[in-house]
Structure 1
Amino acid sequence: MRRFLIGLVLGASSSGITWAVTHDRGWTAVVGLVVLVLVWVGELILDDLL
């Protein structure tokens, strides 16, 4: 649950920054979802890399 909330907050904030810079809905959605997914699977990726 903790990772979900962190991913949600970071995804929303990165979407907000992207929206402020580009004003493009497509890029905003893509960036927000990518950040959310990377937070969710980041632990698995880091375990494999380390």
Structure 2
Amino acid sequence: MTRFLLGLLLGGCGSAITWAAGHNTGWTVAIGVTVAVLVWLGEFILDDLI
């Protein structure tokens, strides 16, 4: 649950920064979703790499 909330928070922060820098909806959604998914699945990705 902690990782889910952290992903939501960091995804939202990434989206806000992207929106403030470029005002582009497509990039904003892409960055927010990418950051959230990487946080949610980061443990599984790192286990495969190590």
TM-score normalised according to structure 2 size: 0.95
Unaligned runs of 5+ in 2: none
Does residue 24 of structure 2 align to residue 24 of structure 1? yes
CA RMSD of aligned residues (A): 0.5
Partner residue of 1:49?
49
Corresponding residue SS for 1:8: helix
Tell me the distance in 2 between the aligned counterparts of 1:37 and 1:48.
Answer: 16
Identity %: 60
CA apart distance, 1:40: 0.8
TM-score normalised according to structure 1 size: 0.95
Alignment coverage as a number of residue pairs: 50
Corresponding residue SS for 1:12: helix
Q: Which runs of 4+ in 1 moved over 3 A?
A: none
Corresponding residue SS for 1:26: helix
Unaligned runs of 5+ in 1: none
